[in-house]
Amino acid sequence: MSPGSSAVALDRAAVRLDGRDVWRDATLQVGQGEFVAVLGPNGAGKSTLLKALLGLVPLSAGKAEVFGRPVRRGNPEIGYLPQRRRFDPDLRIRAADLVRLGLDGASWGVPTPSVAKRSRVADMIALVGASAYAQRAIGELSGGEQQRILIAQALVGGARMLLLDEPLDSLDLNNQQAISELIRGVCRAEGVTVLLVAHDVNPILPFIDRVVYVAGGHVLCGHPEEVIRTDTLTRLYGAPVEVLRTTDGRLVVVGLYEPVSHHADGH
């Protein structure tokens, strides 16, 4: 892969927070249109990696480029879903308005009515299959419905890359499957590069082109067949992990589940 065609390029990058290296010497490249799983134990700096690409966390060393340009805050080419709890049930703003904020929510000045913007918002809501409930307040929607709306919000500004921080967390199995397929569809059909931080890799295992793993102060990159193996994952997580193959040929990762605790990863 030539550097010019890469969506993400890190060159000996490091991030320091509160006087400690979160990770350092990170060198990797992600190609445009790739679906990338970001794996690693809690607190290893997965969220920090996404924030570094967003320009929200400064590098202490090295370089980071997105689509061939140095990272900068407010890059409209990137759509972002932060790690979050659900929206407050009392939050009184329509889902469609939340999507619209992804289009012009960062612009100053008095808003003017725009047919083009309205139809762009409606198209994105249709793309993620959320038309039925887009007129309701976001707080009233289920976790899976909120996640679809947020994906529409992330895409509506014309993003060519999605940075998704545990978007499948707190969803039931059906929704994990459905949202994974939706993201894969967007990645394939629209050529959008996806970096997805996953706590549980199984729902996205069939789709991923590449794995970025963050552990022990390092950020490494590999092909799924090199990484999704019993010995590699056990070493990576520092805990026993087994990779099994089902009778229909799919891989399943077992034992990845740590006690649920997200506080350490919230930088």
Q: How far does Cα 41 stand from its chain's mean position?
A: 16
Tell me, what amino acid is at 142?
A: S
- Examine residue 220 and tell whether it contacts other proteins (CB under 8 A): no
Under rule CB under 8 A, how many of the chain's residues touch other proteins? 34
E strands present in the chain? 6-17, 20-31, 35-39, 61-66, 69-70, 78-81, 161-165, 193-197, 210-215, 218-222, 242-245, 251-254
Q: Choose between 72 and 223: whose C-beta lies nearer to other proteins.
A: 72
Binder of other proteins out of 6, 29, 146, 153 (CB under 8 A) = 153
- Examine residue 73 and tell whether it contacts other proteins (CB under 8 A): yes
Choices 11-19, 33-41, 89-97, 242-250 (CB under 8 A): range interacting with other proteins: 89-97
Binder of other proteins out of 36, 78, 211, 253 (CB under 8 A) = 78
- Examine residue 133 and tell whether it contacts other proteins (CB under 8 A): no
- Examine residue 115 and tell whether it contacts other proteins (CB under 8 A): no
- Examine residue 69 and tell whether it contacts other proteins (CB under 8 A): no
d(CA 256, CA 215): 14
Binder of other proteins out of 2, 4, 19, 109 (CB under 8 A) = 109
**67-96 burial by CB neighbour count: b if 16+ within 10 A, else e?**
beeebeeebeebbbbbbeeebeeeeeebbb
**Contact call for residues 81 and 162 (beta carbons, < 8 A):** yes
Choices 9-17, 87-95, 217-225, 231-239 (CB under 8 A): range interacting with other proteins: 87-95
φ, ψ (nearest 5 deg) of residue 221: -135, 140
Q: How far is the CB of 79 from other proteins (least distance, A)?
A: 9
The token pair at 215 is 């552990």
List residues binding other proteins (CB under 8 A): 54, 56, 73-74, 76, 78, 80-82, 84, 87, 91-94, 97-98, 101-102, 104-111, 136-138, 150, 153-154, 157
